[in-house]
Amino acid sequence: MELNYDFVRDVLIEYAESKHVGGPTPTELIDFAKSKNVDYDELAYTLARIYEGNLISKSPRAIGDSYKIVTPGNLTWQGNEYLNSIRNQNIWTKTKERLKESGIKVTFETIVSIASAIAKNQLGLS
């Protein structure tokens, strides 16, 4: 399964906007994914990958060939930093355009670097 960075961004925004101290509930995440036409497996895969990237505090549990979302947790400090770099729709769109032009697969850190450079440029800092 390939990681969908648009959905990663959407999930991180969902975490950030949660009204619960413990982060969004499993039901809220599943309903959110359905609203984005994303199935449970892709949601769980995405949560597992963003947990591995230290962007959220809890991981879905692997049970056999599938995942169970027990307690989603919250954004980590790094998750907040990553989201802050790509939350603005204009910066996100320009970041994706730059990535598409390059035609290469990149890491979270590279996405943050590109988004930060675009933001600095818009602020007149570069």
Q: What average pLDDT does this structure show over 96-125?
A: 87
Q: Report DSSP state, residue 20.
A: S
Answer for the pair 34, 43: CB distance below 8 angstroms, yes or no: no
Shared-domain flag, residues 27 and 49: yes
Assigned domain for 83 exists: no
Round to whole Å and give the CA distance between 24 and 80. 15
Cβ pair 51, 59 in contact under 8 A:
yes
Residue 12: its pLDDT value, please? Answer: 96
Res 36: pLDDT: 97
Tens of pLDDT along 9-50? Answer: 999 999 999 999 889 988 899 999 999 999 988 998 999 999
Q: Give the CATH number for residue 45.
A: 1.10.10
Tell me the pTM.
0.87
Q: What is the pLDDT of residues 56-109, one digit of tens each?
A: 998 877 666 666 776 778 999 999 999 999 999 999 999 999 988 888 888 888
Residue-range definition of the domain harbouring residue 49: 5-75
Domain total in the chain = 2
Q: At residue 66, what are phi and psi to the nearest 5 degrees?
A: -135, 175
Residues 114 and 60 in one domain: no
